[in-house]
Amino acid sequence: MLYYNSRKRGYYLSYSVKYEDIGLKDYKETWDYQAEVFKELVDNKKNGAESNSKPGTLIFVEHPHVYTLGKSGSENNLLLDYIQLRARDAKFYRIDRGGDITYHGPGQIVGYPIFDLEAIRIGLKEYVFRIEEAILKTIGEYGLSGSRLEGGTGVWLDPDIQGKARKICAIGVKASRFVTMHGFAFNVNTDLAYFNHINPCGFTDKGVTSLEKEMGMKQNIEKVKNIVRKRLGEVFDLNWTNINI
Q: What is the pLDDT of residues 138-168, one digit of tens each?
A: 999 999 999 998 877 899 999 888 888 899 9
Q: Active-site residues: which are they?
A: 201
Global pTM reads 0.87
Q: What is the pLDDT of residues 71-130, one digit of tens each?
A: 665 666 665 655 566 656 778 888 777 667 789 999 999 999 999 999 999 999 999 999
Which DSSP string corresponds to 94-127? Answer: E-SSSS-EEEE-TTEEEEEEE-BHHHHT--HHHH
**DSSP H stretches of helix in the chain:** 27-46, 82-87, 117-120, 124-140, 211-215, 221-236
Domains and CATH numbers, the chain: 2-240 (3.30.930.10)
pLDDT at 3 over 70: no
Phi, psi of 71 (to 5 degrees): -65, -20
Q: What is the pLDDT of residues 11-23, one digit of tens each?
A: 457 899 999 999 9
- Distance between CA 43 and CA 48 in Å, rounded? 9
